[in-house]
Amino acid sequence: MVKWRYAVILDAGSSGTRVYVYRWLESAKARQSASPKELKSLPEIRTKKRWTKKIHPGISTFADKPSRVGPDHLEELLKHALDVIPESDVKNTPFFLLATAGMRLLSDVDRNQILSEVCSYVKSHSNFLVPDCDIHIQVIPGETEGLYGWIAANYLLDSFDADNDAHKNGHHTYGFLDMGGASAQLAFVPNETEARKHANDLTLLRLRNLDGSIQEYKVFVTSWLEYGVREARRRYVEAILKAAGGPKVKEIPDPCLPAGLRTSRDGKPVSSDSGETHLVGTGRFDECLEQTYPLLDKDAPCPDEPCLLHGVHVPAIDFDVNRFVGISEYWHTTHEIFEMGYKDKAYDFNTYQQRVNRFCSQDWSAIEKGVSEHRWGSKVDEEKAMEVCFKASWIINMLHDGIGIPRVGLETAKGSTHNGTKEVLQHGKQKGYLSTFQAVNEIDSTEVSWTLGKVVLYASSLIPAGENDLPVGFGSNQPGVPADFQYPSIRGPTVIRETDFETWREALFGGESPRRIPGLLLFLLIVVIMVFYLCGRNRRGRIYHKLQSFFGPRGSRFNRGLGGKLLGLRRNSPAYERVMEEGGLDLGEMNTGGESDRSDSGVDYDPSKSPMQSKRSSLLSGPHTPTFKFELDNGSGSSIGLGISNIHDRQGMVLRNDSREHLVPAVASGSRSRAGSPTRMHRKSPVLSPMDGEQ
C-alpha cells in the first residue's frame, strides 16, 4: 500500500518563486502506530531544506511575455520537485502554484494569461495531480495567505495539540504577522469579548485529526497591499521626490541610506556625475523613522471601528492574551545584520534600535568594507546592506505605531538570556513564545512558511471523516458549510469516508497489523474457493473423485457432508456422471470439421446438424427416444463435455463411440446411484432398442 503522500507548493511571490515539497504518512498507516494523543492531532507534515528551491524574479515579470514563463521559469522548479518525489508517486502528488501580491498588482488580462500558460506547461511537462487549474493554479487573496500562515505557525508551535496548555489567560493560539515585498498580513484569534462583538468579521477554519474528529477556529485575518517592504520603499521615494520639488532636482537627501551612498530611484548605485535624479544618503536614522511614519496612513477614514492602518477594520487586540510571531522580513530585518554582527545576542527594543542607528550612521565606504570581510555573515551582500536601514525603520513603525505591539522588546523569550529565535526550545510546551512579539524563521528545523499551512489543510482533508462529517476548509463564520466555503482541492465529495475495502486491505497487508498473517491466509482461502467454483462442474467432479480416492473408504462420507455440498455432488441431486475408459476420447475434445467428423459407424456428417445430432439419428432408436440440444462447452458449472440442456426425457440414454464414453442416467431420488464403468458396458439399457451387432 501507499506509505507516503507528497505535495508540491510553489509560492509565486513578488521577488521570486520558491518551490516547497512536503510529505506525510498516509492516514491509515499513521493511525496504526499512533498513540491516543497523536490520534487527536493533525497529520505530521515533514520537509527538508534541500527540498526547497527559489529562483528570481517573480512570475509577474512575465506579463509582457507570458509564453516564456514555462521554459524560462517553471522548468527549473519542476525538475527540482521531480528529483525529490519518487516517480511512482508523482501521479498522485497534488501540484499548487499560488501567487501572492506581485500578481495581484497586475491587470486581470495579464494575470490570466500568465496563469493559463502555467497551467498548460505543468500539465504538458509533468504528471502531477492538477485536476482543476482554477483551484491549483491561482492568485490567492492576502487574507488567504494570512490564514495559511496562521495555520503554519500554530501547527509548528503545537497550538493544535489536544493537550496544549494555554500560554496565557486560556488562550491557546498565537497571532501571525507576515511581511513580504508587496503586502503585509495579520491573523489572530480575538479574545472572547471581541470575538462575540465582531463575529461577522471572523473566518471559520475547520481541520480534521487523525481519528476523524474536527477542530474549529474563528480567526480574524486581514492584509494590506503595498505595505510590503518593496512597495513601501516605492511609496517613500515618490513622497520625498515630491517634497523635494520634482524631477528637476538632481540630488535628493535620503536619511534612510548610509551616508555617502548614492542610488537611483529604484535603488541601484549611481555615480555623482550620472546626470540623472538620484538619492544621496545622509545616515540619519531618526529622520528616517519620522519620514516613514506617514506611510502607515493612520489618519485614513475608518468606516468600521476600530481600524489600524489605511482605514482597515481590525478587532481590538488584547496584548494580555494575544502573542504574535512574525516571519519573512520581520525575521530577516531583525537578524541578518543586527544579530550576526554581535557576540551578545540579547537585546530588547532599545538595544535593537541602537544597533540600527550605529549601522546606518556609518559611511558607505566602511559598510562596504564590512560586507567584504563578512562582518555580518556570508548572506549579507551590498544590496542587502543598502536596503536594511529603510527596512528597519519600516518594521519598527509597522510593529509599534501601526499594529500597536508594546515596545517592551522584540526578541525576549521567557527563561532565555538571548533572543531564542534560532535556538527554539524543541518540544511541546517548551516551544512557547511568551513575549508579545517574536520573530521566527524556523521551528524545529522547519521553515515557517504559509505554504506549510496550505499542506496541513490539504492533508487534513484526506483523513476519513469520523462522526462529525463536516468538510475541511474555511469560509464565512456560519454554522455548517457556508456558501463561500473553500475546499483544499477540487470540491468533489465533501467528505471522505473509509471504505470496508480499505479496512480489509489494512488487515491483510498492513505491516503493523497483528491480523496480517491470519488475514492473509483467509484471503488466500477465499481466492481458492472462488477459483474452484469458476472452474466448472465438470472439473469440480474430477477434483471430487480425486479427493474420494485420496480419502479411501472414508471418501463415501465426503459427498454426504460439507464437501458434497461445496462440490455440488450430493447423491440426492440429479446429475449426469461421465465415465471414461482409460485412454478414451473425451467428448469435449471432438473435432467438428473435416474427415474426423465421420464416425466408425459409417454415418455421414450432415452440415446442417451438429456432430452429435448426426449420430443420434442412426444410433438411437426405440419408442422413447429422448430429444437433446447439444452446445459447445462454455466452461459454466452446468455443462458436461459439450454441454446438455433442454432435456425433455431423462429416462435413460447410452451413446457409443470408440471411447465407449457413457452418459449414465440419473437414478430417482432416494435410490443408490449407479456409477457407470467400462466393466459394465455389456449391460443394455431397458429403455433403448438393441443396436445392430448387439443382439
pLDDT value at residue 534:
76
Residue 444 grid coordinates: 524545529
Q: Is the separation of the CB atoms in 409 and 349 below 8 Å?
A: yes
Paired sense of beta strands 53-55 and 17-25, if any: antiparallel
What distance lies between CA 431 and its chain's CA centroid?
Answer: 27
Calpha distance 45→26 (Å, rounded): 11
Residue 283 grid coordinates: 545616515
Q: Is the separation of the CB atoms in 139 and 115 below 8 Å?
A: yes
pLDDT value at residue 272:
78
Positive/negative CA dihedral, 134, 136, 141, 144: positive
Paired sense of beta strands 324-328 and 437-439, if any: parallel
pLDDT value at residue 675:
44
Determine the residue type at 583.
G
Calpha distance 99→139 (Å, rounded): 4
The string over 322-356, giving b where at least 16 C-beta atoms fall within 10 Å of a residue's C-beta and e elsewhere, is bbbbbbbbbbbbbbbbbbeeeeebebebebbbebb
R_g over Cα of the chain: 41
pLDDT value at residue 482:
94
Q: Is the separation of the CB atoms in 541 and 578 below 8 Å?
A: yes
pLDDT value at residue 491:
56
Question: Can you give the three-state secondary structure of 198-230, one letter per residue?
Answer: CHHHCEEEEEECCCCCEEEEEEEEEEEECCCHH
Residues with active-site annotation: 145
Q: Is the separation of the CB atoms in 309 and 402 below 8 Å?
A: yes
Determine the residue type at 473.
G
pLDDT value at residue 343:
54
- Which neighbouring-strand residues pair with 221? 187
Residue of 659, 645, 664 whose CA lies nearest to 577 = 664
Residue of 618, 620, 617, 646 whose CA lies nearest to 631 = 646
pTM given for the model = 0.70
For the chain, 695 residues long, the average pLDDT of each consecutive 10-residue run is 90 95 95 91 95 95 96 97 96 97 94 97 96 95 97 95 62 93 96 94 96 95 96 96 82 95 92 85 95 96 94 94 93 81 58 87 94 87 94 95 80 35 36 72 91 97 86 94 91 42 46 54 80 75 72 51 49 43 42 42 44 42 44 41 40 42 41 42 42 43
Calpha distance 478→314 (Å, rounded): 19
Residue 44 grid coordinates: 505530521
Calpha distance 110→124 (Å, rounded): 22
Domains and CATH numbers, the chain: 1-140 (3.30.420.40), 229-295 (no CATH), 501-531 (no CATH), 578-695 (no CATH)
pLDDT value at residue 309:
94
Contacts with 132 (C-beta within 8 Å, 6 or more apart), sequence order: 489, 490
Q: Is 56 exposed, middle or buried (0-12, 13-18, 19+ CB in 10 A)?
A: exposed
Q: Is the separation of the CB atoms in 98 and 11 below 8 Å?
A: yes
pLDDT value at residue 271:
85
